[in-house]
Structures are given as C-alpha cells and as structure tokens.
Structure 1
Amino acid sequence: METLANLESFVRSAESGSFSAAARRLGLTPAAVSRNVAQLERNLGVRLFARSTRGLALSEAGERFRRSVAGGLDSIQEAIADIKVNAGQPAGVLKLSAAPGFGMDFLLPLMPAFLEKYPGVTPDWVFDSRPLDLIAGGFDAAIGAGFELPPGMVARELARIHLIAVAAPALVQGKRAPADPSELAGWPNIVMRSPMTGRVRTQVMRTQAGEEVTAKQQAVMLVSDPDALSRAVMLGLGVGLIPVPHAAPHLASGALVRLLPDWYGDVGAVSLYFTSQKLLPAKTRAFVDFVVDAFRAQRLPDALSSM
C-alpha cells in the first residue's frame, strides 16, 4: 500500500506543476518531494510526470491517476485537519499577502485584537500590489482583488470597491466643478495604468439612479500604483480616479476633496483568498473568521464603497 506522503507529494506536484512549489506547501524539501514521487512511480511501474527544464507535465497515466486519488486524499486530509482543528488552539506562522495601502490601513489595525485572541499565531505579512501565486508562494491567505483561483483555492468576498474622483483643494479652488465624468476632460488628470497589462482602463462611472457616463481623462501623468496615484493627486498635479480605500484617509484629513459626489466606478470585489475550506488549518480558519467578523462589525463594506 502506498504511503500518504508519496500520494500527497504527487497530488500537490500535479496541482502546482512544480516539485519546489509542492515542497513549500507541504513543508518539505524539493528533493524529498521528488524522491516521494519517484518512489511512487517505481511502485506503480508507470511514469506519472514528463520532466523538463520548464517544469512538470502529467503523463496520460499520471492524469488518470490524479483524478482517481485526489478525492480520496482530500477526504483523508479533511479528517486529519478536523482532528487538528478541534484538538488544539490555533498556532504557528501564518503567511499572508495584501496590497500595501489596503493592508496597512484596514488589516494591520485588526492585528492587536487578533493577536490578543490568538497569541500562538505569528502573522507573516507580505505587502505587494500584484496578484501572487498563492500556492507556489506558500501563502495561507491573501486579501486583494484580481487573483486567479488555482485548484484548491476559494475566495470569500469582503466588500465591493468603488472609484471616486478626487483632487487637492488647491487645484479646485476658484474653479467650476465638473457636472459629470465627461467634463473631467477639461482638467489635468493623473491616470492609473494596470501594473499587469500596462494598459489604461477606460472607466465608466454611474449614479445610484443608474445613469452611466464614461470618464474623459487627459493624462498629465500615468502611474501604476494606487498609493502613488493618491500622492500625485495630493501634490495638486491633477484629478485622480482613486479607490475609496486609498482615498478615504486623505478625504478625512482634508488633503483631498471629492469631485462628482453622485458618481462612482465599480472596480470589483476585494476578497479573502485561502485554501479549500475543508482543509483549513486552525490558524487559517481563525484568521478568516476573524477578518470576516471584523469587516461586518466595523461596517467596512460600507466604508469601502462610495455610497
């Protein structure tokens, strides 16, 4: 009978296409994962992977075997995880990812209460605006938008994120405010470029009544980071369409003022990403539940939208 270690090494390598990524997820060395898979291949008498310098690809036999064993392996791990979750308190290093501005403004303030409740957990934060490969990076959870969901990952929506038009008070002083987003064409604009594609997104803005107008922006500067966008706008260089989480602290301080108060752009959801709920270790389950409850209790979904 095959060992659980051999089967788990095979399934996780198949999911990630890499012994190294599987090793990070399993807490083993790449050499140990490779040995486990090689032993499994010898025991079965078939080649499960085609190996190359570009990575791993399942053979036809390997794909059939993965489909056959993955469900059973998940059931076994679910039983093990359930025992661990119910047997002790959450503990260990919890590797987390979030965009810098959003993470520092909305997630770090939750940490004192979280650590008081779960002193055995050590959060290890990585602040990065780019969507990351959560499995390959060994992350327990991530908070952000635009992540692709690989097999074994789920997303739980925390809030919808809106864009609003803002400017420095000095820029708007003595000027007639724009009546709708099309009139932004008469103002200098700081424009956001996608850090992934390099493209400038045409933003459609809407009102609660359902009216929609495309924002007309004449760029005097382009940036690829929402925090840089906020700072450039605060310097008075132009108007910016900024996500509410990035604009809110500066609106509260008076460093920015809102234009077009009846208009907003919907740029999607910010979500909490983590591995399949059935297999969550106690530390991850504790973090997920804590963040979801905190967002609800503090009414953060309302604070992160424009309305």
Structure 2
Amino acid sequence: METFSSIECFVRSAEGGSFAEAARRLSLTPAAVGKNVARLEARLGVRLFQRSTRRLTLTEAGQRFLDEVRSSFQTIQHAVANLASAEGQPAGTLKVSMGTVFGRLYILPMLGEFLRRFPAISPDWHFDNRQVDLIGQGFDAAIGGGFELPPGVVARKLAPAHRILVASADYLADCQPLVRPDDLRDAEGILIRSPQTGRVRSWPLTSRWQEQSPLSLRQRMTMSDSEAACAAAEQGLGVALVSMPFALPYLTTGRLLRVLPDWYVEDGNLSLYYAQHKLLPGKTRVFVDFIIEQFAQQGLAQRFDALA
C-alpha cells in the first residue's frame, strides 16, 4: 500500500507539473508528496524527475515509467473508488466543470434530484467558461461545447450548439425590416468575443434549407458571454448573436424576439466529456447516465435546436 501511495504521488506530480499541485489534489502537504516520490525513486533505483524551483520535468526513465503504470494505476484507483461506497451506492467527490451561466440555468437545478438518488456523492462543481484539462486537473466530467478532444477523453453529445439572432421588440420596431441576411448590414450588432482568443469569430449563417450566407452584422459592441449580450439586446441596443440556451429564457418571456428565425449559426455540439476507462468510477458513471436522462426528460436537445 505504501508503494501504491508513492505511485499515486508520482502520477499526480507528473500530471500537475509540481509537488504543490499534486499535494492540492491529494489533500497532502508538498513535503509529504516529495518524500513519497523520493521513496519511490530510491526503491526503483532511478531518478524520475529533474527538479527545479519552478517545475518538475520527467526524466527519460520517469516518462517511460509513467507510460507503463498510468493506465494500470487508474484501473486500480477506479476499482477502489467503486468499492468505497456507502451501502453499495456510488460515493466520493464528483469534480465537474461547466460554463458559469449555463451551469446555473440548466445543470444546477438538477442537483437536488441527483443527490436524492446518490446521497453518498459529494459534488465539487466548478463554474468556468474556459476549457479545462480534464485528466491533468483531475476532473471527473465536464459539460460544454467546442472542447478539443485529447487522447483518453470521450464526448457524449447532449444537444446541438446553435447560435441565433435576437433583438428587443422596441429595437425591431425602430429599425428597417430584417427579412434577409443582407438586411443585417445596417443593424447594430452585439457580438461575442471569445474568452479564449479575445477575437470575434466570423460566423456563416445557415438556413433551415441548408443555404449559406455570410453574417454581415455590423459590430456595434462586443461582450464576453451570451448572457451579457442578451441583457444588452433587451435594452434595445442592437441585434445579438447568442447561444440558444442563453436566449431561451428571454424568448420564453418575450423580452427578446428572434431575428431571421429561419437562419442560425452552427457551432458543433454541446457535449458531456469524461475520461475513457474500461472501469469507469461509479460516481462518474451515474452522473453521465443521469445527465443524459435529464436532457431527454426535459427535452433540452429539442429546446436548444434553432430549427425546432
């Protein structure tokens, strides 16, 4: 068991790049992690890390050892996690990443039912609009769109990721009729700036008949998220291009109206991401199944579809 703990400290240190990061994930002190790794190096008779004041770097032997033990270590860890349950129920801390507003609007309301079914699971939910390193940062799952799919991570599609054009009734009453995509040239645009790149992406519009047209919306202002863009559009400040899930509450209450309702922007899929394992931890397995079930029961895939 001592060797297993030392290997766990080694793997987490390699993933996090420091003893401090491994200590944070393992609820240990950096000194304890460093001692465990040193003990493992002494047992193996090789140096696994080149140490500096800033970062750990794997030696050639360390990289080879990591490649050989990581998958087996994860299998053992998941088997232990599945057995470490309360009265046969999935248990443990469930670390999940999701977008800030999306998570609050659609995932957080599911939490009560999830905990009623699985009371031994302790949610550790992170609300952030940036993509996380699912494996390297120790997340069990993530919900979002546009994630790069690194090796060892799978994606389960939950819904289409569509963006639509919206504006307030007052704004539409005061501007020229917006009937065709070309009419957008004279409208004041509220566009989304990517939090990752800082740039405003040039989107093509797609019609329900699969016609293509450039989005010629004149940039009046930019926002860093769709919720802010909806709030600006509600004030009559222009036409906003926003993600469908954020627009829904405004459309349902009539605070915003769709512009060019037969046109939308295709932005891939909203997906549920988790590490690919032959033996998925029970807490992660039930969370994946629960989210897929709730999306089906609530008809969220249809509600997020711009053509529905």
Does TM, scored on the shorter chain, surpass 0.5? Answer: yes
The structure-2 alpha-carbon separation of the partners of 1:300 and 1:31, relative to structure 1 and needing over 3 Å to count, comes to same
> Which is worse superposed, 61-70 or 271-280?
271-280
1:200 counterpart letter in structure 2: V
Question: Could you give the per-residue CA deviations for residues 95-151 of structure 1, whole angstroms, max 9, x where no partner exists?
Answer: 332212211211122122212212233323332222234455543332222344556
The structure-2 alpha-carbon separation of the partners of 1:98 and 1:2, relative to structure 1 and needing over 3 Å to count, comes to closer
2:88 counterpart letter in structure 1: G
Aligned to 2:274: 274
Aligned to 1:125: 125
Aligned to 1:299: 299
SS in 2 for 1:264: strand
2:251 counterpart letter in structure 1: L
- Structure 1: stretches of 5+ with no match in the other structure: none
Aligned to 2:39: 39
Aligned to 2:214: 214
Aligned to 2:250: 250
Distance 1:67 1:93 in 2: 26
Deviation of 1:164 after TM superposition, in Å, equals 0.6
Aligned to 1:71: 71
Distance 1:122 1:61 in 2: 37
Aligned to 2:142: 142
Deviation of 1:200 after TM superposition, in Å, equals 0.8
> Which is worse superposed, 283-292 or 232-241?
283-292
Deviation of 1:77 after TM superposition, in Å, equals 2.9
1:144 counterpart letter in structure 2: G
Does the 8 Å contact 2:86/2:120 carry over to 1? no
> Which is worse superposed, 129-138 or 180-189?
129-138
The structure-2 alpha-carbon separation of the partners of 1:27 and 1:158, relative to structure 1 and needing over 3 Å to count, comes to farther
Deviation of 1:59 after TM superposition, in Å, equals 0.8
Does the 8 Å contact 2:141/2:275 carry over to 1? yes
Alignment of 1:136-285 (within 5 A): 137-149=137-149, 152-173=152-173, 175-278=175-278, 280-285=280-285
Does the 8 Å contact 1:153/1:276 carry over to 2? yes
Aligned to 2:20: 20
What is the Cα-based RMSD across aligned positions, in Å? 2.4
1:160 counterpart letter in structure 2: P
Distance 1:141 1:28 in 2: 23
SS in 2 for 1:306: coil
The structure-2 alpha-carbon separation of the partners of 1:121 and 1:2, relative to structure 1 and needing over 3 Å to count, comes to closer
SS in 2 for 1:173: helix
The structure-2 alpha-carbon separation of the partners of 1:62 and 1:273, relative to structure 1 and needing over 3 Å to count, comes to same
Distance 1:72 1:214 in 2: 50
1:106 counterpart letter in structure 2: Y
Deviation of 1:247 after TM superposition, in Å, equals 0.3
Does the 8 Å contact 1:24/1:137 carry over to 2? no
Q: Percent identity?
A: 49
Aligned structure 1 segments of 4 or more residues deviating by more than 6 angstroms: none
> Which is worse superposed, 12-21 or 102-111?
12-21
Does the 8 Å contact 2:23/2:33 carry over to 1? yes
> Which is worse superposed, 254-263 or 32-41?
32-41
- Structure 2: stretches of 5+ with no match in the other structure: none
> Which is worse superposed, 25-34 or 98-107?
25-34
Alignment of 1:45-56 (within 5 A): 45-56=45-56
Does the 8 Å contact 2:75/2:277 carry over to 1? no
2:108 counterpart letter in structure 1: L
1:205 counterpart letter in structure 2: L
The structure-2 alpha-carbon separation of the partners of 1:230 and 1:163, relative to structure 1 and needing over 3 Å to count, comes to same
SS in 1 for 2:20: helix
> Which is worse superposed, 233-242 or 285-294?
285-294
Does the 8 Å contact 1:21/1:137 carry over to 2? no
Distance 1:23 1:149 in 2: 27
Deviation of 1:268 after TM superposition, in Å, equals 2.0
The structure-2 alpha-carbon separation of the partners of 1:77 and 1:87, relative to structure 1 and needing over 3 Å to count, comes to farther
The structure-2 alpha-carbon separation of the partners of 1:105 and 1:71, relative to structure 1 and needing over 3 Å to count, comes to closer
Does the 8 Å contact 2:98/2:127 carry over to 1? yes
Distance 2:126 2:71 in 1: 32
Does the 8 Å contact 2:85/2:92 carry over to 1? no
Aligned pair count reads 307
Deviation of 1:295 after TM superposition, in Å, equals 0.8
Aligned to 1:106: 106
